[in-house]
Amino acid sequence: MTHWQLFKDSLIHPKKLAAYRLLPIGKVIQFVLLLVLFVTIVSFIQFLTGVGLETSQINGLKQFINDIKWLIYPFAFLLLFVINSFTLFVQISIYAFIGLGILKFQHKRGEFRHIWRTTAFTVTLSTIFTSLSAFFISNNRLVSSLSIAITAIYLIIACSKYPNQPKK
């Protein structure tokens, strides 16, 4: 299974995401880290354009930043990658705990490790939407609400495809 196929399915086919609970954790973490790389690149572009706008009026500071740009930018990119990784992994874990509740409510069989893998794919669309919306939409509450709703809908659809619990 290629990362491109996983990416397409996580955007278009939420029903297939339940089957991906059986993927090796290494493949799932690779996918999440590629998603983090995308978010980091978008954040870094924001960082680059934001610094240029804020410092355009202060000539001395602008010259100083231009002189040490080669030193600041790699560390800023690395720091953004680490922070985005931590944030996305925590977000996936929180949604996975919610997913466990959804599984219990729907009387479906699944463990945390399975729902975590499924959740790693359900957050793809909302993560991309949130990252790109920084350039277009200024209402953060609206973006956050839509992101949560998208993830919840995808998670509910994916959880509905888990196997039923055996009758006792």
Domain ranges of the chain: 3-160
CA angle 151, 15, 27 (to 5 degrees): 75
**Which residue stretches of the chain have pLDDT < 50?**
51-55
Confidence (pLDDT) at 72? 81
Closest to 36 (Cα-Cα) out of 89, 84, 94: 84
Confidence (pLDDT) at 55? 45
Residue 111 DSSP symbol = -
Could you tell me the pTM of the whole model? 0.83
Confidence (pLDDT) at 56? 52
Confidence (pLDDT) at 86? 96
Residue given tokens 């499924």 in the structure block: 118
Residue type, 63: Q
As a whole number of angstroms, the distance between CA 73 and CA 42 comes to 14
Confidence (pLDDT) at 21? 84
Confidence (pLDDT) at 49? 78
Confidence (pLDDT) at 16? 82
Confidence (pLDDT) at 78? 93
